[in-house]
Amino acid sequence: MAWVFGLMLVVGLLWITVTQGGDAATASMMAGAGEAVTLCLELAGAYLLFMGVLGVARRAGLMETLSRALTGAIGWLFPRAGKASGAIALCFSANMLGMGNAATPFGLEAMRLLDEQNPHRGVATDEMCILIAVNGSALQLLPTGLIALRQAAGSAAPASVVLPSLVASAVSTLVAVLLCRLLTRRREAPVRSVGRRSAGCAGGER
């Protein structure tokens, strides 16, 4: 991604320099930097509010309650997660509550624990791939970041995206789960078939 953004920056600067001159390029960069600072300041209040509310919810045990409710689904999605199950549950719970910053450490811890059980270090296991896919689809009950951005942009109804965001993230999560399960079963099918043939050969030899 660093190469992609770097290329976009260079191409944009070259284009505006060639078409409008160096002064326009400098003015554009300064204006963009100023707008970025302004946006950060406008977002600060909304983020502080939402993070404060979600912090109270976390202290009240809402995240732990969600984690316990997700235990069955996590056991089905990650049958070989082992001791990483707790970190996975907390990661998903934080994302569902819109606390992406809190979800990141849990996700990293889950990956670390999954890698400890990995017989082939450096090669992603099924559980790792499923965690990335489901975490990327990010089912959100409360999209606090999006609401804050719409509020900073002057939206008349910044919270109107809650239902569409919930539906869209639910559909994307469902698709991610189904695809992961399908691909995992297709990959494991030849292994099971070989195992049955081996057992049959051994029985014949006896």
User: pLDDT tens for residues 43-86?
Assistant: 777 777 767 776 777 787 776 777 777 777 788 888 787 788 88
Backbone torsion region of residue 122, taken as left when φ is above 0, otherwise alpha when ψ lies between -120 and 50, otherwise beta:
left
Task: Check whether 23 has a pLDDT greater than 50.
Answer: yes
Q: Regarding predicted confidence, which is higher, 12 or 195?
A: 12
Q: Alpha-carbon distance 8 to 23, whole Å?
A: 20
**Residue 199, pLDDT score:** 44
Tell whether the model's pLDDT for residue 160 goes beyond 70: yes
Give the model's pLDDT for residue 194.
44
102 vs 133: which has the higher pLDDT: 133
Instruction: With cut-offs at 50, 70 and 90, classify the pLDDT of residue 201.
Output: very low
User: Structure pTM?
Assistant: 0.60
Q: What angle do CA 64, 67, 72 make, to 5 degrees?
A: 145
**pLDDT score of 155 more than 60:** yes
pLDDT at 206 over 50: no
More confident residue, 128 or 206: 128
pLDDT at 179 over 70: yes
Q: What's the mean per-residue pLDDT of the chain? A: 77
Q: Which residues of 58-74 are buried (b: 16+ CB within 10 A; e: fewer)?
A: beeeebeebbeebeeeb
Mean pLDDT for 16-37 is: 83
Question: How sure is the predictor about 141, in pLDDT bands with cuts at 50, 70 and 90?
Answer: confident
